[in-house]
Amino acid sequence: GGIITQTPKFLIGQEGQKLTLKCQQNFNHDTMYWYRQDSGKGLRLIYYSITENDLQKGDLSEGYDASREKKSSFSLTVTSAQKNEMAVFLCASSILGGFAEQFFGPGTRLTVL
């Protein structure tokens, strides 16, 4: 088995601040994902990476950057945090792509003051 670790678990930032969320997986999976989870809106894809050094924009990429410098890690940066923003950011990985099982981390909860 494997595990996905997300850090930090809770992130509090100020409006306009640049914030970075980190994700590590030891499944040796090629594909990794970042989703944003808002109450009542489900999971929305921000970025995904098919393999090391690859980046693909999802449906919600505006306001975010991502980085995949190693196969095991995938970082997400909120380029300018918005006041009153509150959401959970979920990282996931998959061995083969969308039609295979995705394994999720426990999430990072973001609050912007």
Partner 1 sequence: GDSVTQTEGPVTLSEGTSLTVNCSYETKQYPTLFWYVQYPGEGPQLLFKVPKANEKGSNRGFEATYNKEATSFHLQKASVQESDSAVYYCALSDRDTNAYKVIFGKGTHLHVLP
Determine if 13 is a binding residue for partner 1 (CB under 8 A): no
The CA distance from 27 to 72, in Å, is 8
Which of 66, 104, 101, 69 shows the shortest CA–CA distance to 88?
104
Please identify which residue in 21, 92, 110, 112 interacts with partner 1, judged by CB under 8 A: 92
DSSP state of 113: -
The least CB distance from residue 82 to partner 1, in Å, is: 21
Map the footprint of partner 1 across residues 15-74, applying CB under 8 A: 31, 35, 40-45, 48, 50, 56, 58
Q: Interacting stretch for partner 1, rule CB under 8 A, among 12-20, 60-68, 74-82, 100-108?
A: 100-108
Residue 21: partners with Cβ closer than 8 Å, 6 or more residues away: 6, 7, 8, 11, 34, 75, 76, 77, 78, 89, 91, 108, 110
Site for partner 1, rule CB under 8 A: 4, 31, 35, 40-45, 48, 50, 56, 58, 90, 92, 97-99, 101-107
